[in-house]
Structure formats: C-alpha cells, structure tokens
Chains A and B, each alone.
Chain A
C-alpha cells in the first residue's frame, strides 16, 4: 500500500505540472478568441482601436527606426567583412535585406514592442484588476474583455506589420550606409541585387511572422495582467510587478520559439 501510494504521488506530481501548463494554454487561447470575437461585435470601438494603434504603433516608431538603423548598419559591417573574404561583397545588399525581411525585422520589432508597449499593457491591466476597476466594469454590465482587451489586440495586429516594414526599410538603408558609404560597395549593385533577390514570398513570410508575433505578444501581456489576482505567489503591487516580468519574459521566449516553428514551415 505504501509503495502504491508513493508511486501514485510521484505520478500525480509529475503530471500536475504539464496539466497545469496545458490548462493555462487552453485558457490563454480562449482568452484570445474571446478578445478577437469582440473586435467585430457591434458597436465597433474605432476610437479605442485608433488609440491603441497610436500607443503601440505611432509611439514606437522612433525606437523601431533607431534599432532598425543600427541593426542594418551592423549587418552591413559584419556581412562586408565576411563576404569580402570570398570576394563576393557585391551580394551584401541581398544578405542584409533577406536577413532583415525574413528574420530580424519581425523578431526584433516584436521584442522591442514587448519592452515598450507589452510591459505597459500588462501593468495597466494588472492595476485595473487589483483596484477593482475590472470588477466595476462587470458590475456595470460592460464586458471587460471587449472594453479593455479587444482594442489592444486589434491595435497590435495592425501595428506590428507596419512597424516591421519600417524596421526592414530603415535597416536596409543602414546596411547601405555602412556597406556603400563607409566601405565603398557600389550603391547600384547594393540595391539592384536586393531588387533581384527579394521575392514576394519573403515579404509575406515576414508579415505573417509579424502578425503571429502580434497575437502572441498581446495575448500573453494582456493575459498576465488580466489574471494577476489569480497568481499564487504574489498579490497587489508585487503581483503586478511579477505579472509584468512574466509577460516580458514569456513573450520574448515565445517570439523566438514561434519564430523557429514558423521559419521551418515557411522555408
């Protein structure tokens, strides 16, 4: 009996972690689906969605331009010194453009927005929860997911691809700056090679990634804030700080994991 009991406890212990994770995953998916559903429910919340595009999108343009420029520049430098060994520095443009459009553009944009807007979303919603503002919405028969979450999902899905596009373009010019202006590659060769090599699939692939990252980031960040009161290890302000940390960490890790999965499908 004793042995059986131990064995049962061991199996329960082993299983409880994964089942908890699966349950959490299911809840997150339902949370996203509900949020998505209410984007299209009447009356449309245009003003709030535009507000979110302004917050997630417009306000991130500067930081995205900055990171895009330096990423492109460093790619230009690294690429040049690698390619020059094989005498093929002429394809620098292709290297910079494809790396940015397929990989670095969507991934770095997503990670930058997690830091800038995702953490803010988690903290804002978390504070609304602990100060009973979400309960107050419920008592007024206003659906909090519709009111708080849906505009953020819509805002993120619209902003992410646009920001990614800005990142890509600025990055390509960054590569041009180091490759052509500083290191002397022919500008014509730089841009014409890009024109020849970059296919529409590369661009769509990049945008698909951007949209998927938007969904992942906004869902994780909002979910962490929304259910801050259910955290077992911290309440109140501490709970909100932990939720914000989890939102950023989980989002960043998931961006890289999902990126790998998507790339393997898209290639």
Chain B
C-alpha cells in the first residue's frame, strides 16, 4: 500500500457537548477520488474542514505526506494551502464581485501574477467550464448550475493538487448532477488532482470514485472500493446503500448497476437450474468525453438521456437495460441464445444507426459513436469477464453513429 497523501490519526472533534468525530482514522491516497458518504449531520463536512484548516481537531492529528498540519511552519503550511482548493456546498462565491473577479481572486491575492497572465488563465478556465459571456455578470445574475461551475473554476484556476468537494451536486437536477459528476471525473483525469468528495449521491458517485469511506456515529465504519462496498456485510452500510438499490437512474430512467448485476445473477440461476439461455449486449458510447468537451457536459448528458430513452423503446418488456458506467449500458436479453442476441444486436444497430434520437436535436453536427457488443452466457461465467469479452471481440461488435 502506498503512503497516504492525507491521513487522520485518532481525530476527535466536539461542538459543545455534541461529539462529532470520535477518534477517526482515515487515509486519502494521491491521484484518486475518495468519496466520504454517510447520513446527514454525521460530520462529513467537518472532516473536510479539518483538511483545509478551517477547523482544528480537539485531539489527534491530521497529516499531509506524514507531516502533522499543526506542526508545520508558516511557510510550509502556506505551501500546503496553495496545493489545496475547496468547493463549498453553497458555492461561497463573492456576491459583490463579478464572475471574472471571483475566478481571478486566488491568483490576484495569493499568486500575485501579472495582470495579462491572470486574464488569460481565468478566460481559459472559464472556457473549459463552458462559461461563456458571463465574465461581467454577478453571481446573483447566473443560474445555479453556472454558479457551481464558477465555484469549480475558482477552485481549479490555481491548478491544485488536492480538491475538496463539499456535496457538489446538492440541489441540482439529474442532468446537471450527472454533468457535475462527469466534470469532476473528467477534470480529475485531465489534471490529475486528488479529489475528496462528500456526497449523498449513491450509487452515482460510485461511478467516479476509486475509494469510498463511510462515516457513521463519528467513526469510519467502511473503507474500500465501490465494488467492495456492495458486498459489505456491516448491517449499517448495507442498510444505507440498500435504500438506493431499488431506484432507477434518474438520468437515464434505467435500472442502476446493482440491479443490472442482480438481474444477471437471477438469469444465471435460471440458466444453471433449467438451462434457460440468456445473452448480454453492451452498448458503449465511445466519444462521450469528446462530446462533453465540444458541446458541454450538460448538453452531452441531455443527449445521453435521449439516447437511453430511444434504446429502451427497441427492447422487449422482459429484457432489462441498466447503466453500467458513466458511458456504458448493459442489456440482459432473457431467454436468448447468442444467435438471437446477434439478431437483436444487428437490429438495434440498424434501427438506432443514424436515427434522430431527440425531436429537437440542438446539436445536429455531433453524433455519438456507439459500439455494441453481444455475448451469449455460459454456466459459471463471471459478469466482469463477459463484459470484457463483449468489449474486445471484434467480430461480435457493431459500430455505428447516432445523431
């Protein structure tokens, strides 16, 4: 195991008689997105505030690369703070300053760069976050989603190594929520920062996180990967994530990944007991990143939503379609052998190819490049292997474009 970038050692924190953190130990690793989940009021934001130094522990230590934050010398702490950015739940934009001034603020005050450099850097960041022609607007004059992006731009303008997100999607509609998740994940890949997210958005947040921590009653009761949390035996963790399992993905209106897996296991059970065949089709949207970059995260999510509605129209009622990853949909074809799966896959690719997925397509020049792979399931096959097979076998793949 590598050395953690940030480490909490027996951190305790109380407000009056209310103990929020009870000897919390946790580790954050470099280059990963770590998500802290837990019920409301359990102190998730309090944890984040300890990292940035807005709060200090009553006892215990917070370490950065093995050095306790409180024992750092002034200069050292200043260097550390330069590497960290914080995105507030309520954005915390300076409401008497324009969007441009807000984003430029850390550069002007902290980095003391020449004016021209600041202007270029701020413009670049605003453009990357699809904030066009709002430089002179005040935060109260722009929409909620835009405010979130301005807050994100302000946090990313200093090229931080660590970004802390305090409930970045609270109060956003499903499309904006997914756009923000997509944005965080995209920028994390592009800029390589270490992300720490406090979130309630289960299981959406699992798609973009590498590590999950669950805080309950002042203690970390789970630490592990998103795959591990689904098999966790701790009743509190199970209870917490079970609530979400029956939900449909509010973006695509499809079943969630866990439900897709459940369906797979049910079908596998039928196959093993009664020999009823089934197959899976995997639809991968190859250029979702490129589309996001060119027409914006929001627009990409809208098109994705329309696409999934379109796919569902072409399926039988007994087939199930679930969201597997940010850009992957899995269809489980009940009672279908590979030949039938091939027919369905061919039909789907012909019917979907070139089709108008939205009545009013606002971006006609951009098309999704979709690859569809199918595979018949045999007894004892593992889902992960099947997905990898469906993705890799060239002769079973159809590539087409949907506009």
**Could you tell me the distance in whole angstroms from the C-beta of B98 to the nearest C-beta in chain A?**
15
Are the C-beta atoms of B110 and A135 separated by less than 8 Å?
no
Determine chain A's interface SS by DSSP, over half rule. Answer: helix
Cα A136 to Cα B82 with chains together (Å): 13
Give the CA-CA distance A140 to B93 in the complex, in Å.
Answer: 12
Given A131-B92, A132-B88, decide whether A138 and B82 contact each other with a Cβ distance below 8 A.
Answer: no
Residues on A with beta carbons closer than 8 Å to the beta carbon of B85: 139-140
**B78 lies within 8 A of chain A by Cβ:** yes
Bound-state Cα–Cα, A139 to B164, Å: 10
Of B93, B106, B109, B112, most A-chain CB atoms within 10 Å: B109
Check if B109 sits within 8 Å of A142, measured CB to CB.
yes
Contact A139 B84 (CB under 8 A): yes
A31 at interface, CB cutoff 8 A: no
Task: For A138, list chain B residues within 8 Å (CB).
Answer: 52-54
A205 to chain B, nearest CB (A): 38
Give the distance to chain A from B101, nearest Cβ to Cβ, in Å.
Answer: 12
Assembled-state Cα–Cα distance A138/B105 (Å): 12
CA distance A127 to B53 in the complex (A): 22
Cross-chain contact B106 with A140 (CB below 8 angstroms): yes
Chain A residue at smallest Cβ distance from B90: A132
Interface string of A122-163 (1 = CB under 8 A from B): 001001100111011011111000010000000000000000
**Complexed CA–CA distance, A124 and B94 (Å):** 11
| Candidates B94, B95, B96, B110; contact of A141 at CB < 8 Å | B110
Answer whether residue B137 sits at the interface, using C-beta atoms and an 8 A cutoff. Answer: no
The distance in angstroms between the C-alpha atoms of A147 and B105, with both chains bound, is 11
**Which chain A residue lies CB-closest to B102?**
A136
Find out whether the CB atom of A131 lies under 8 angstroms from the CB atom of B95. yes
How far apart sit A147 and B95, CA to CA, in the bound complex (Å)?
15
How far does the alpha carbon of A49 sit from the alpha carbon of B54 in the complex, in Å?
A: 27
**Chain B 100-123 interface residues, beta-carbon cutoff 8 Å to A:** 105-106, 109-110, 112
Q: Is B307 an interface residue (CB 8 A)?
A: no
Query: CB-defined interface of B132-157 with A at 8 Å, one 1/0 digit per residue?
Result: 00000000000000000000000000
Q: Is B368 an interface residue (CB 8 A)?
A: no
Near A by CB (< 8 A), chain B positions 64-86 give 78, 81-82, 84-86
Which chain A residues lie closer than 8 Å to B54 at the CB level? Answer: 135, 138-139
Q: Chain A, interface size: which category?
A: 10 to 19
| A245 CB, nearest partner CB in chain B, Å | 22
Least CB distance, A133 to chain B, in whole angstroms: 5
Chain A residues lying within 8 Å of B81, measured Cβ to Cβ, are 139-141
CB atoms of B109 and A140 under 8 A apart: yes
Task: Check A135–B88 contact: CB distance below 8 A.
Answer: yes
* Shortest Cβ gap from A194 to chain B (Å): 44
Complex Cα distance, B92 from A258, in Å, reads: 38
Q: Are B86 and A139 in contact (CB under 8 A)?
A: yes
Q: Taking the nearest CB of chain A, how far is it from the CB of B148, in angstroms?
A: 14
What residues of A have a CB within 8 angstroms of the CB of B109 in the complex?
Answer: 140, 142, 147
Bitwise interface map of B from 213 to 248 toward A, beta carbon under 8 Å scored 1, else 0? 000000000000000000000000000000000000
**How many Å lie between the Cα of A127 and that of B95 in the bound state?**
10
Q: In the bound complex, do residue A136 and residue B95 qualify as a contact, i.e. CB atoms below 8 Å apart? A: no
Residues of B within 8 A of A43 (CB): 112
Chain A nearest CB from B27 CB (Å) reads 22
Nearest CB in chain A to that of B158: its residue:
A140
Residues of chain B with a CB closer than 8 A to A133's CB: 92-95
Task: Please give me the residue from chain B that is nearest to A132 by CB atom.
Answer: B92
On whether the beta carbons of B92 and A135 are closer than 8 Å, the reply is: yes
Compute how far the CA of A135 lies from the CA of B87 in the bound complex, rounded to whole angstroms.
11
Known: A131-B92, A142-B109, A142-B110. A136 touches B86 (CB 8 A): yes
* Complex Cα gap A135–B52 (Å): 10
Q: Are B92 and A140 in contact (CB under 8 A)?
A: no
Residue B110 contacts which of A127, A132, A140 (CB distance < 8 angstroms)? A140
| Docked CA distance A128–B93 (Å) | 9
Closest to B77 in A: A141
- Interchain residue pairs with CB less than 8 A apart (19): A43-B112, A124-B96, A128-B94, A131-B90, A132-B88, A133-B92, A133-B93, A135-B88, A135-B92, A136-B88, A138-B52, A138-B53, A139-B86, A140-B106, A141-B82, A141-B110, A142-B105, A142-B106, A147-B109
Nearest first, the 3 A-B pairs at minimum CB distance are: A132-B92, A136-B92, A139-B86
Interface set of A (CB-CB < 8 Å, partner B): 43, 124, 127-128, 131-133, 135-136, 138-142, 147
- Further pairs besides A128-B94, A136-B86, A140-B85: 16, Cβ < 8 Å: A43-B112, A131-B90, A133-B94, A135-B54, A135-B88, A136-B88, A136-B92, A139-B52, A139-B81, A140-B81, A140-B105, A140-B106, A140-B109, A141-B81, A141-B82, A142-B105
